[in-house]
Amino acid sequence: MVALALAACASLCRAQEMAQEPPRLAADRHTDAHIAETIRQVSADRIRQTVEKLVSFQNRSTISAQDEESIKAGKGIGAAREWIKAEFARYSKECGGCLEVKTDTFTEQAGERIPKPTEITNVYAVLRGSEPKQAERIVLVTGHYDSRNSDTFNGTDPAPGANDDGSGTAVSLECARVVSKAAGKLKFPATIIFLTVAGEEQGLNGSKHFAQMAKQQGWKIEAVLNNDIVGGDLGPGQDSSVVRVFSEGLPAVASDAEIKRIRMLGGENDSTSRELARYIADVGRSYDAGVKPLLIFRLDRFLRGGDHYAFNQQGFAAVRFTEFREDYNHQHQNVRKDDASGIEYGDLSKFVDFGYMAGVTRLNAASLASLASAPAPPTSVKMLTKNLENDTTLTWEPAAGASTYEVVWRSTNAADWEYVQTITSGARATLKVSKDNVIFGVRAVDAAGHRSLPVVPEPER
């Protein structure tokens, strides 16, 4: 009898388990028809015009000219800065003044790559969130508009910077154009900032200043998308179906106590920047951007750095987008042709793939729009660890704009979230999954299905 009952249970229990098998996340698309329509407005031709205009300023080195005369002549970083401001202002006019166009100007003292005190200006446009309670949440896209040639101290000879980083500057501008246009029909509860910085090539000066200002003023930046070298260089070996998305593992700002906690919990792969990267992977599955994100679990490429790190250093979640394969003959090089080898050097527009750039821009715009449409992420997310047990109980504080929540999880050795369970009532969930074997996250979902960034719970005893 006992054996029979056990056999019956074995099959019944397995059947129950199977019925309870939660949905696999990979198949789960979160598409908003309005966002899909918005990103269709991205224009490869507009992007080409922007990059060619930036190249026309001849040399956009941070130490190049910015006097009135040069600005009038359309030469140097001052002229580039004025043109970017005017572009943002033009987009704002087209959306009934929906963008606030701003500058962040400061003097960088002489240093390793700055020969004399130099004025640096970051230019940005703010699309203020529609919900007073949520407008203090900020998502941000950035690129650097300064350029360089072979010599960091050369501010006069051609430094076209079409790819590095005319491309990233064009992503910020084109996102501003299409997302602000959509803002009439589409409400974004959170604030979006479209940023272009200078000083990157001299030592991340612009982004450092901006991130420090944001930190000092208590800005609640949830996500920074840094685009640097996203031109899809047309040289051999390029894979124009993907864009790399770099994210830091251990947070730059983690204290010794936090490092200790991360080690205890196996949290090395769950920085807020990495959750942002996974969010972008989800956006890549949900929208037909034309270019897919390829997550690289590393801060940046070898021997290189970028503006996302300046934000990481202030504790903000920030990732870097970069084309799959860089051509170093087309970066940081004087424009020239080597007759013996036939190699053409220099960061020229003719090496840029504008169709590819449109794909990268669509991925950025969809990520910004999804994040800014979503409810705030849940706060005080806890995992109860009072007793030894095989179930897992999670609790959290309700999030502004949320109507339901989702618990997501994955095996400790899986790169991305694998499973999801919807929690329709309350801010608490008990799952028949052992906390010892998986990593959990909790995210907020609004009535229209927009997902927030997931938050990994902290253990509570």
Find, among 388, 383, 356, the residue nearest to 458 by Cα: 383
Beta carbon of residue 245, minimum distance to Zn ion (angstroms, whole number): 16
Residue partners of 7: CB distance under 8 A and separation at least 6? none
Beta carbon of residue 331, minimum distance to Zn ion (angstroms, whole number): 8
Question: What is the spatial distance between Cα 399 and Cα 415, in angstroms, rounded to a whole number?
Answer: 26
Q: Site for Zn ion (CB under 5 A): which residue of 32, 165, 248, 300?
A: 165
Nearer to Zn ion, 134 or 147 (CB): 147
Question: What is the spatial distance between Cα 132 and Cα 431, in angstroms, rounded to a whole number?
Answer: 35
Beta carbon of residue 122, minimum distance to Zn ion (angstroms, whole number): 15
Residue 336: half-sphere exposure toward Cβ, Cα within 13 Å: 10
Choices 39-47, 57-65, 81-89, 158-166 (CB under 5 A): range interacting with Zn ion: 158-166
Nearer to Zn ion, 228 or 326 (CB): 228
3-state secondary structure of 301: coil
Count, residues near Zn ion per rule CB under 5 A: 3
Nearer to Zn ion, 159 or 363 (CB): 159
Beta carbon of residue 148, minimum distance to Zn ion (angstroms, whole number): 9
Residue 307 near Zn ion by CB under 5 A: no
Nearer to Zn ion, 164 or 353 (CB): 164
Choices 9-17, 148-156, 223-231, 349-357 (CB under 5 A): range interacting with Zn ion: 223-231
H/E stretch holding 445: strand 438-445
Choices 160-168, 273-281, 320-328, 340-348 (CB under 5 A): range interacting with Zn ion: 160-168
Choices 2-10, 164-172, 358-366, 370-378 (CB under 5 A): range interacting with Zn ion: 164-172
Nearer to Zn ion, 207 or 314 (CB): 207
Residue partners of 153: CB distance under 8 A and separation at least 6? 63, 113, 115
Choices 171-179, 228-236, 248-256, 318-326 (CB under 5 A): range interacting with Zn ion: 228-236
Residue 174 near Zn ion by CB under 5 A: no
Nearer to Zn ion, 66 or 226 (CB): 226
> What's the length of the chain?
461
Beta carbon of residue 248, minimum distance to Zn ion (angstroms, whole number): 18
Residue 235 CA to its chain's centroid (Å): 26
For the chain, count helices (H), then strands (E). 12, 17
Residue 323 near Zn ion by CB under 5 A: no
Q: Is 10 exposed, middle or buried (0-12, 13-18, 19+ CB in 10 A)?
A: exposed
**Cis link prior to 307 (omega < 30° from 0)?**
no
- Is the distance from CB of 415 to CB of 408 less than 8 angstroms? no
Q: Site for Zn ion (CB under 5 A): which residue of 164, 222, 307, 446?
A: 164
Beta carbon of residue 322, minimum distance to Zn ion (angstroms, whole number): 9
3-state secondary structure of 358: helix
Q: Site for Zn ion (CB under 5 A): which residue of 228, 233, 300, 406?
A: 228
Nearer to Zn ion, 177 or 332 (CB): 332
The label of the residue with tokens 């005080």 reads: 380
Q: Are strands 379-384 and 392-397 parallel, antiparallel or unpaired?
A: antiparallel
Choices 106-114, 159-167, 245-253, 404-412 (CB under 5 A): range interacting with Zn ion: 159-167
Residue 275 near Zn ion by CB under 5 A: no
Beta carbon of residue 228, minimum distance to Zn ion (angstroms, whole number): 4
Residue 347 near Zn ion by CB under 5 A: no
Q: Are strands 336-337 and 379-384 parallel, antiparallel or unpaired?
A: unpaired
Choices 54-62, 221-229, 280-288, 407-415 (CB under 5 A): range interacting with Zn ion: 221-229
Residue partners of 289: CB distance under 8 A and separation at least 6? 39, 283, 359, 360, 362, 363, 366
Q: In Å, how far are 249, 276, 416 from 410, measured between CA atoms?
A: 17, 16, 7
* Contact residues for Zn ion, defined by CB under 5 A: 164-165, 228
